[in-house]
Amino acid sequence: MKFSYNWLRELVDGLDTAPAALEKLITMKTAECEGIEATGALLETACAARVESVEPIADSHNVKAVVDAGRYGRKTVVCGAPNCRPDVISAYVPVGKKVIHDVESDGMLASGAELGINRDHSGILELESQVGAPIAGCLPDHVIEIDNKSITHRPDLWGHEGMAREVAAILGRKLKNPVRTDLLPSGAASIAVEIKDLDLCPRYSALVFENVSIQPSPLWLQRRMITIGLNPINNIVDMTNYVMAELAQPMHAFDADLLKGGTIFVRRAHPGEHFRALNFEEYTLDPSNLVIADASGAIALAGVIGGLDTAIGGTTTRVVLESANFQASSIRKTSAVIKLRTDASMRFEKAQDPANTTRAIARAIELLQELSPGIRISGGVADRKRDVPPPPPIALPLAWLDRKLGRKVPAAEVREILDRLEFGVAEPAPGVLSVSVPSWRATKDISIKDDLVEEVGRMVGYDSVTPQPPLVAAAPPPRNLARAFQHEVRAVFVDQGFTEVYDYSFISEGAARRFGFDPANHVRVTNPIASDQELMRASLLPGIWHNILENAKHKDAFRLFEIGLEIHKRYDDGLPDEVPHLVAAIYDRQGRERLDGAVGLFEIKRAAECLMPHARVCPAAAAPYEHPARAADVMWRGERVGRMFELHPSLIESGRAALLDLDLRRVEVLSGSEVKYAPIRRFPSSAFDLSVIAGLREHASKLEDSIAQFAGPLVESIEFLRQYSGAPLAEGQKSVSFRVTLGSADRTLSSEEVSLIRARIIDGMRGMGYELRV
């Protein structure tokens, strides 16, 4: 929202605070200023000048003009405007001397656009002023731009009057009322208004004007429009925009002669009703949309945009001026559905003040008398409304206010602040104020005492509050074990050389398919930002896969991990299941010494064991993205907690990647067991080595399990020592060596006992068909 400093000055009595200082005050006490911009600097020195003579310049479309520039004297200027002709009165600006086409041009004749009055670049400004006079009503100005988000809750700040009220309150000055309600005509209205739904339209006021002439607005009004970022159109449209920018009340003008019947209806649209809008779009409406209608159908989409069929134009002579109030949420909904936000809808959706409709009409009457000479009012104001009692006053206990702010504000100061903001203040009981809210703050903004804390707080200034630590019970906060555990996991993996990445929660259907995931099993985004971000990830693997490919462009070897949420289409309590996972990857480019990829896999296994001591890896059928001969379940404390695998070669062009994917929710649960101390054994253990000859693809863990089973309860540990294949072993065979350690907590085992167990293992293994080297 753009505010004109000059406009604010017209409304605040004696405002002399410089624009930059004012901007700062507004930021600290009312709403955030995004910037301040000087406009129309040329107007400072511009004056009306008569063109006395014009002569062409050879080889140029420009002409050399001699002008009578009043106090600046007679000047020669070079001008390129087609309307630069003798006797025209234009605007001269002394911008200095410059040689153009060998002619010295001393100053310039300016167009409306150059001066910041309108958008007209087609020629120089044509005036009807006295030579030497400044351009009436057009002055340099400063535009203060307020962040719209910071006035979402303040319907009144969508007009200059509201901001002027703030400024007056901040500076302790008087606000001038720009509205003369005495201009409102009384008597019977010459148009009927019928509101079918008073919830959606609490008030509709209208007035008919006759003998209207549609013409360009005077320059001062055009300049105002430009200053606040609007285009000047014609006197009627500019007037409605002016009133809206001043009072925050949107208005609309219909050509009265184009209306069918003598009644304006405010009703819900019929299902499928068609409406042609001023923007040349055609909309199909439904009963959730509120329309303004005549006997033949919709003539405006209430609070959003007018209709094309009843629009004013060059031949319009009678105008119905609408000044209405609409329910905020209904306007917002309609504007969102048809994807059209207008200056009107933006204001209405903030909940405008119903008391403002006739004020706006009064302001319009005053302006139109100047803008459309000879205009006549026809009949009185048609005004239909729901009578809403004013909200009850708010009780504001002053001690409570002080406690909320954390500082004391004297009662007199509180009263003065509220008074300046035009709240009604009484003190029926000592220490408690009774505060009535002005109508323009009562629609949505202020309804409870907490809202008044802000009014007082911002005006006394929050920098007047001294920071203070609270007195609270020294209770330890509840622990977040899941989060603490995840931080522990991070520490383990960083120690093992892995670097943490953050990936998006979105994946594409393509990526899901690449991994053999069914897109239908993913939670889908209904309004994705791009087509490659339409699914919520149900696995972190596609993300880290992307990271591997990208980093492999720059690095030969690296380790990555991510801890993030998998989002699964299993609903519990209405929400999808979010499962924290860890994925870790070790990448190594092929062609280096670690050609076969085994090192990467065992390194990642070691990292997993750092997190989960004695975790086991059980080879299992591979998923489509896994190397079919290098994929396994990760088991810990009897439960499957994840997968370890090498990435399928089809997913990676060069090099190999070993991956680990763990369900951290399960791992956390399993890691929770407390340590229980076992006394150190006092009796020595006995150990012996065994080598089992097995098929090349037999799993060492299976051999170990069998040995353990035959060894029985006295086994302390079975340690893998080495494996060997090649001569003298037969093709397809390997020898796997283990060290078996036996022991007992209460005695030293005799050599007979040890031999017996050893023999039992050997016999057992042989019984299973294995040959043993002992």
Partner 1 sequence: MMLSTSMLDRSIQELESRSLARIASAKTREDLEAARVEALGRKGGLNQFSKEMGKLPPEERKRIGALLNAAKQNLEAAIEARERTFAEAALNVRLDAEWLDLTLPAPGPRRGHLHPITRIQRELEELFSSLGFAVLDGPEVETEYHNFDALNIPPDHPARDMQDTFWLESGNLLRTHTSPVQVRGMERFGPPLRMIAPGRVFRNESVDASHEHTFYQLEGMMIDRDVSVAHLIYFMKTLLAAIFKRDVTVRLRPGYFPFVEPGFELDIQCLICGGSGCPVCKQSGWVELLPCGLVHPNVLRMSNIDPEQWNGFAFGLGLTRLAMMRYGIDDIRQLQGGDLRFLEQF
Q: Which of 571, 602, 683, 720 binds partner 1 (CB under 8 A)?
A: 571
The C-alpha atoms of residue 426 and residue 212 are separated, in whole angstroms, by: 48
Least gap, CB of 181 to partner 1 (angstroms)? 30
Type of residue at 694: A
The site map against partner 1 for 309-338 (x = CB under 8 A) is -------------------xx--xx-----
The per-residue b/e assignment along 311-322, b for 16 or more CB within 10 angstroms, e otherwise, is bbeeebebbbbb
Q: Which stretch binds partner 1 (CB under 8 A): 214-222, 294-302, 563-571, 660-668?
A: 563-571
Q: Which amino acid is at 569?
A: K
Distance CA 69, CA 90 (A): 9
- Beta-strand relationship, 192-195 and 263-268: parallel
Per-residue binding letters, 422-451, with partner 1 (x by CB under 8 A): --------------------------x-xx
* CB nearer to partner 1: pick between 72 and 400: 400
CB of 641 to partner 1, least distance (A): 21
CB of 34 to partner 1, least distance (A): 9
- Give min distance, CB of 398 to partner 1, in A: 14
- Could you say whether residue 288 binds partner 1 (CB under 8 A)? no
Cβ closest to partner 1, residue 32 vs residue 771: 32
Alpha carbons 664 and 643: distance in angstroms, whole number: 12
Task: Decide whether 118 or 547 has the Cβ nearer to partner 1.
Answer: 547
Give the β-pairing of 63-68 and 47-56.
Answer: antiparallel
Instruction: List the end-to-end C-alpha distance of the chain, in Å, as a whole number.
Output: 90
Footprint on residues 145-204 left by partner 1 (CB under 8 A) = 149-154
The interface with partner 1 within residues 94-133 (CB under 8 A) comprises: none
Of 143 and 707, nearer to partner 1 (C-beta) is 143
Residue 631 CB, nearest distance to partner 1 (Å)?
A: 23
Residues 686-725 that bind partner 1 (CB under 8 A): none
| Cβ at position 719, least distance to partner 1 in Å | 23
Q: Figure out which of the listed residues 468, 531, 673, 751 binds partner 1, where binding follows CB under 8 A.
A: 468
ω before 728 within 30° of 0 (cis)?
Answer: yes
Greatest distance between any 2 Cα atoms in the chain: 133
Q: In degrees to the nearest 10, what's the CA dihedral of 340, 345, 349, 355?
A: -170
Under the criterion CB under 8 A, does residue 589 sit at the interface with partner 1?
Answer: no
Q: For residues 774 and 768, what is the distance between their CA atoms, to the nearest angstrom?
A: 16
- Closer residue to partner 1 in complex, CB, 103/652: 652
Stretch that binds partner 1, among 88-96, 231-239, 551-559, 619-627 (CB under 8 A): 551-559
User: Interacting stretch for partner 1, rule CB under 8 A, among 125-133, 413-421, 541-549, 646-654?
Assistant: 541-549
Q: Is there a contact between 502 and 565 (Cβ–Cβ < 8 Å)?
A: no
Give the distance from CA 288 to its chain's centroid. 26
Site string for partner 1, 400-419 (x = CB under 8 A): ---xxxxx------------
Main-chain phi, psi angles of 723, to 5 degrees: -130, 155
592 near partner 1, judged by CB under 8 A: no
Q: What are phi and psi of 481, to 5 degrees?
A: -65, -35
CB 183 within 8 A of CB 362: yes
Minimum distance between the CB of residue 579 and partner 1, rounded to whole angstroms?
11
> What's the CA gap between 304 and 516, in Å, rounded?
49
The least distance separating partner 1 from the CB of residue 770, rounded to whole angstroms, comes to 36
Nearer to partner 1, 527 or 654 (CB): 527
Position 518 contacts partner 1 (CB under 8 A): no
Cα dihedral 414, 415, 416, 421 sign: positive
Nearer to partner 1, 239 or 346 (CB): 346
Q: Out of 128, 339, 430, 466, name the contact with partner 1 by CB under 8 A.
A: 466
Closer to partner 1 by CB, 34 or 126: give it: 34
**Within its chain, how far is the Cα of 104 from the centroid?**
54
- Shortest approach of partner 1 to residue 48 CB, angstroms? 38
- For residue 573, what are its two tokens? 């309590």
Contact 238, 232 (CB under 8 A): yes
Stretch of residues binding partner 1 (CB under 8 A), selected from 361-369, 543-551, 628-636, 678-686 = 543-551
Please, which of residues 470-489 interact with partner 1 by CB under 8 A?
470, 472-480, 482-483, 487
Retrieve residue 114's tokens.
């150059």
Binding to partner 1 (CB under 8 A) within 22-41 occurs at: 27-32
Q: Which is nearer to partner 1, 309 or 353 (by Cβ)? A: 353
Q: Tokens 């004007």 identify what position?
A: 209
Q: Residues 6 or more apart from 676 whose CB is under 8 A from it?
A: none
Using CA atoms, how far apart are residues 189 and 295, in angstroms rounded to an integer? Answer: 18
Nearer to partner 1, 340 or 565 (CB): 565
Residue closer to partner 1, measured from CB, 2 or 85: 2
Q: Which is nearer to partner 1, 8 or 540 (CB)?
A: 540
Q: In the structure encoding, which two tokens stand for residue 599, read together?
A: 């090192």
- Helix or strand holding residue 357 (H, E): helix 356-371
Q: Is 593 in the site for partner 1 (CB under 8 A)?
A: no
Closest separation in Å from C-beta 248 to partner 1: 14
Residues 487-516 that bind partner 1 (CB under 8 A): 487, 490, 493-505
Map 398-431 to HEC letters.
HHHHHHHHCCCCCHHHHHHHHHHCCCEEEEEECC
What number of chain residues touch partner 1 (CB under 8 A)?
A: 92
Do strands 557-572 and 575-588 pair parallel, antiparallel, or not at all (unpaired)? antiparallel
Query: Taking CB under 8 A as the criterion, which residues in 335-354 touch partner 1?
Result: 349-350
- Within a 10 A sphere around the Cβ of 580, how many other Cβ atoms? 21
Instruction: Supply the minimum distance, in Å, between the C-beta of residue 722 and partner 1.
Output: 21
Minimum Å gap between C-beta 503 and partner 1 is: 6
Least distance in angstroms from the C-beta of 235 to partner 1: 32
Listing DSSP states for 191-226 in one string gives: SEEEES-TTT-SEEEEEEEES----PPPHHHHHHHH
Closest contact distance (angstroms) between CB of 533 and partner 1 is: 8
**From CA 239, how far away is CA 319, in angstroms rounded?**
13
**Closest CB 609 distance from partner 1, rounded Å:** 15
Q: Does 532 bind partner 1 (CB under 8 A)?
A: no
Q: How many CB atoms lie within 10 A of CB 522?
A: 22
d(CA 138, CA 117): 7
Residue with tokens 């910041």: 116
Judged by beta carbon, residue 166 or residue 255, the one nearer partner 1 is: 166
For residue 520, give the 3-state DSSP assignment: helix
Q: Which of residues 597-626 bind partner 1 (CB under 8 A)?
A: 603
Q: CB nearer to partner 1: give 23 or 238.
A: 23
- Least Å distance between CB 5 and partner 1? 18
- Residue 61 in 3-state DSSP? coil
CB nearer to partner 1: give 571 or 602: 571
Q: Which residue shows structure tokens 């819900």?
A: 268
**Which listed residue (458, 637, 666, 699) binds partner 1 by CB under 8 A?**
458
Rounded least distance, CB 103 to partner 1, Å: 41
Min dist. Cβ of residue 619 to partner 1 (A) = 26
The 8-class DSSP code of residue 478 comes to P
Q: Are strands 2-4 and 141-146 parallel, antiparallel or unpaired?
A: antiparallel
